Amino acid sequence: MKESNSDRRKFIKNSTALSGMLLFGSLSDKTKSTTIIKPVPMKVYPNRIKFAVININHSHINSMTEAVKRGGGELVALYAKEPELVAAYLKKFPEAKLAKSEKEILEDPSIQLVLSSGIPDERAPLGIRVMQHGKDYLTDKPGAISLEQLAEVKKVQKETKRIYLIMYSERLENKATIKASELVKAGAIGNVIQTVNLAPHRISNGTRPDWFYDKKRFGGILTDIGSHQFDQFLHFTGSTEAEILLSQTGNVHYPQHPNFEDFGDVMLKGNGGTGYIRVDWFTPDALDTWGDGRLTILGTEGYIEVRKNTDIASGNKGGNHLYMVTQKEMLHIDCNNVNLPFGALFVDDVLNRTETAMTHKHCFLATEMALTAQKLARPLVLKK
* CATH number reported for the structural domain that contains residue 162 in this entry: 3.40.50.720
- State the amino acid at position 247 in one-letter form: S
How far apart, in whole angstroms, are the C-alpha atoms of residue 37 and residue 335? 6
pTM (two decimals): 0.91
Predicted local distance difference test score (pLDDT) of residue 46: 81
pLDDT digits (tens, 9 = 90+) for 89-98: 999 999 999 9
**Residues 67 and 91 placed together within one structural domain of the fold:** yes
- 327: number of Cβ within 10 Å: 14
**Residues 225 and 283 placed together within one structural domain of the fold:** yes
Alpha-carbon dihedral 334, 202, 266, 256, rounded to 10 degrees: 180
Let me know if residue 372 belongs to a domain: no
pLDDT digits (tens, 9 = 90+) for 295-308: 999 999 999 999 99
* Whether the predicted pLDDT of 24 surpasses 60: no
Classify 351 as helix, strand or coil.
helix
Q: Containing domain of residue 270, as a range?
A: 2-36+171-334
pLDDT mean over 259-263: 98
Sequence-ordered alpha helix ranges (H) in the chain: 2-15, 60-70, 83-92, 102-106, 120-132, 147-160, 169-172, 175-185, 215-218, 226-237, 342-352, 360-376
CA end-to-end span of the chain: 53
* Whether the predicted pLDDT of 377 surpasses 90: yes
How far apart, in whole angstroms, are the C-alpha atoms of residue 275 and residue 230? 9
* CATH number reported for the structural domain that contains residue 286 in this entry: 3.30.360.10
How far apart, in whole angstroms, are the C-alpha atoms of residue 246 and residue 244? 6
Query: Is the preceding omega at residue 142 within 30 degrees of 0, hence cis?
Result: yes
Give the CA distances from residue 271 to residues 6, 188, 191, 234, 235, in Å, rounded to whole numbers and listed in that order.
Answer: 28, 21, 13, 9, 12
324 falls in which pLDDT band (50, 70, 90)?
very high
Predicted local distance difference test score (pLDDT) of residue 213: 97
| Phi, psi (deg, nearest 5) at residue 116 | -155, 145
* Whether the predicted pLDDT of 103 surpasses 90: yes
**Residues 319 and 246 placed together within one structural domain of the fold:** yes
- How many structural domains are present in the chain? 2
Q: What is the DSSP pairing of strand 113-117 with strand 49-56?
A: parallel
pLDDT mean over 311-319: 90
Q: Of 24 and 289, which is predicted with more confidence?
A: 289
Q: What is the DSSP pairing of strand 192-200 with strand 329-334?
A: unpaired
**Residues 270 and 323 placed together within one structural domain of the fold:** yes
- Domain limit, last residue, from 143, 167, 191: 167
Half-sphere exposure (CA, 13 Å, Cβ side) for 309? 18
- 329: number of Cβ within 10 Å: 17
